[in-house]
Structure 1
Amino acid sequence: MEFTFEGTDQNKAETAKKVRKFLEYDFQNYLNRAGMHRTDLSSPQLDPTGVSSHGGNSAENKMFRLYDYQAKCLAVYQTIMDCEENENKGIRSKSILKLRYLDDLSDSQVEARLHLSGSRYRYKKNRALCEFADRLHKWATINDTNLPDLSVYK
């Protein structure tokens, strides 16, 4: 028996563009609202499971939102760290995303650090961004938070 899934043919270029925008703008917004910095994510100690009630009072609601933004940041971090890394196969998704979006290096700095030509780096970065989109839902679910589906389908 063969199963087919509707909408699973990912538009790689549009997905990479959407993920890039998410990591450059939305992720920074989540960090700001969580009162965090990228450096706080190098060894996250967050436990977003501590809030189960949506509460009734304003202080509880504010705390819930704070925990939710921390959970979003943790989900992004875990998604990046879950991306594939296999130097023997030339797959550097985790390194590219970590250096670019967690360590906040420029594209040219990441290129140089990984000893990649410009075109090779762009190809591998787009591949990494699409992989990020594929893995994000898992970590959002584990951290009990909602994040957008970043995949764009043909």
Structure 2
Amino acid sequence: MMIGVEQSVLFKKAKLDKAKTAQAVKNFFTEDFGHYLNLANKHLSDISSPTLDPNNVGGHDGRNHQDERIVVNLDAQACVRAVDHALSSCNYSSGIILYLFFIKKMPDTKIAERLGYQSARYYQLKNSACVEFAERLDYWRKKDSASISDLRVFLKS
């Protein structure tokens, strides 16, 4: 079997637990993301800001620093960058819902009203947005060399 075909078969067998994945994303934003922001010396407002430059990793001067704080700071910046990239790559409605709720801290009722959704439909879209974010974050955490854990939760076979 060719490698690409084998990977495709493995991927099709892995079923995502969408409810647990959505909850993992919500937990990440409420419990972990603020810590990454603090360590990276970033703020929620930096998420939508063009100042979060993917080429700027804290103004590293090229010297080999042994200071653990610098390593932690650089990793935290990579984590914040990966989240920013994942949010930015979500489809429009998912990105708006996640941005308004997790970054702007807008209440669900206000977001649903602003976007013109009934409550039940809004919560369906919010959970789908969380799953999309988790799937996109898997790519960006690797691309940005971030130490964020995979937020996807798979069903047991």
TM-score (norm 1): 0.83
Report the 3-state secondary structure (helix = DSSP H, G, I; strand = E; otherwise coil) of the residue aligned with 1:23: helix
Which of 37, 44, 51 matches 1:38? Answer: 44
Aligned equivalents of 1:96, 1:16: Cα separation in 2 = 13
Partner in structure 1 of residue 66 of structure 2: 57
Q: How does 1:1-154 map to 2 (within 5 A)?
A: 3-5=8-10, 8-43=14-49, 44-46=51-53, 47-48=56-57, 57-58=66-67, 61-85=68-92, 92-154=93-155
Is the contact made by 2:87 and 2:95 (CA closer than 8 Å) also made in structure 1?
Answer: yes
Q: Give the whole-Å Cα distance in 1 for the aligned partners of 2:76 and 2:152.
A: 21
Give distance in 2, aligned partners of 1:49 and 1:5.
Answer: 39
Query: By how many angstroms is 1:32 displaced?
Result: 1.7
- Which runs of 5 or more structure 2 residues have no equivalent in the other structure? none
- Structure 1 gaps of 5+ residues are 86-91
Return the alpha-carbon distance in structure 2 between the equivalents of residues 80 and 18 of structure 1: 15
The alpha-carbon deviation at position 142 of structure 1 amounts to 2.1
- Per-residue CA deviation, residues 19-63 of structure 1 (Å, 9 max, x unaligned), is 110112211111122222101222233423866x9x5633xx211
The share of aligned pairs that are identical, in percent, is 31
Q: Give the length in aligned residue pairs.
A: 146
CA RMSD of aligned residues (A): 2.4
Please list the CA deviations of residues 101-133 of structure 1 after superposition, one character each: whole Å capped at 9, or x if unmatched.
Answer: 122212122112111111001000000000111
2:144 maps to a residue whose letter is N
Structure 1 segments, 4+ long, off by >3 Å, are none
- Deviation string 1:63-92 (CA, Å, 9 cap, x unpaired) is 12112111111111110110012xxxxxx1
